[in-house]
Homo-oligomer: A and B are copies of this chain.
Amino acid sequence: MTHPPLLPFQTVYGAPQPLDWLCLAPHPDDAEIGAGGTLIRLAQAGRAVGILELSRGERGTQGTPQIRVQECARAAVLMGLSWRGNLGLKDGELADTPAGAHALAAALRAVRPRVLVVPHHRDRHPDHFGTYHLARRAVHLAQLRRADLDGEPHRISRTLLYQGNADIQPGLLVDVGGVQAQWEAAVRAHASQFTGEAVSETVTPEIIERRRARQSYWGTLARVRYAEAFEAEDALLVDPLAL
């Protein structure tokens, strides 16, 4: 009698399934803050959207892994996600390592996203640029037939970078004016981080005001009210009719 392979991740919400978009988050809440509005728009349009946290955020000042998992699940509902998981890597030490890359590659094979959204390499936080570098190697491994990995090889079609804590020069902007309420609710679902004392620039009750101002900044450049900023990892194949 055979048994299914051990999954390299914990499911926090929904069930592992083929996804259209998957957003990688170093810690719980990073995806909501940086790309939440875009993910909500996609889910509203019926796309299968997921988030995979790489760590449980256990070194964060506020909250515990148990509490944060519950917050993640609640936010998943509010965002309309199809799946949310956690890879269980070590908070504070996210980097391009063979073990991490194999774990992430196995997860990518399991949920098979078409579009992968990763933190921008230009960021202050080592876990953020560490996730970027880890993802580049995992994307490669996931498509190798001879990798030491369970699951069918899978090729990501497109990789996008989202903004973390640092200034970037984005090539792509997404209008998130129509989903402000849902976005705010999804961020606020991480109550352990955004109520109580301000312990850092990101762990603060001001987070909505701060990040909404950022969305306004990008929105002004795109002549909409609020926008999220992305960069394409490679030159983007586009349909000219959509320009």
A218 to B210, CA, bound (A): 10
> A160 and B243 in contact (CB under 8 A), knowing A144-B59, A236-B173?
yes
What copy number does this chain have within its complex? 6
A212 to B93, CA, bound (A): 36
Interface residues of A in 150-176 (CB under 8 A from B): 158, 160, 166-167, 169-175
Q: Are B221 and A234 in contact (CB under 8 A)?
A: yes
Chain B residues closer than 8 Å to A98, beta-carbon distance:
93
The number of residues on chain A lying at the interface, defined by a beta carbon within 8 Å of a beta carbon of chain B, is: 70
Q: Are B136 and A238 in contact (CB under 8 A)?
A: no
A234 to B220, CA, bound (A): 12
Q: Are A221 and B235 in contact (CB under 8 A)?
A: yes
Q: Are B241 and A47 in contact (CB under 8 A)?
A: yes
Chain B residues closer than 8 Å to A141, beta-carbon distance:
92
CB distance from A40 to the nearest CB of B (A): 10
CB distance from A223 to the nearest CB of B (A): 6
Chain B interface: which of A5-13, A69-77, A182-190, A224-232? Answer: A224-232
Task: Tell me if A60 counts as interface (CB < 8 A to partner B).
Answer: yes
Chain B residues closer than 8 Å to A199, beta-carbon distance:
145
Q: Are A237 and B222 in contact (CB under 8 A)?
A: yes
Determine the residue in chain B with the shortest Cβ distance to A213: B216
CB distance from A26 to the nearest CB of B (A): 11
Q: Which residues of A does B touch, CB under 8 Å?
A: 21, 38, 41-42, 45, 47, 58-61, 92-93, 95-96, 98, 101, 115, 124-127, 136-137, 140-141, 143-147, 158, 160, 166-167, 169-175, 199-201, 209-210, 212-214, 216-218, 220-224, 227, 229, 232, 234-243
Give 20 CB contacts A-B under 8 Å: A41-B240, A45-B241, A59-B147, A61-B144, A61-B145, A92-B140, A92-B141, A95-B96, A101-B126, A125-B140, A126-B137, A127-B140, A169-B169, A172-B243, A173-B237, A173-B238, A214-B220, A222-B234, A222-B235, A229-B235
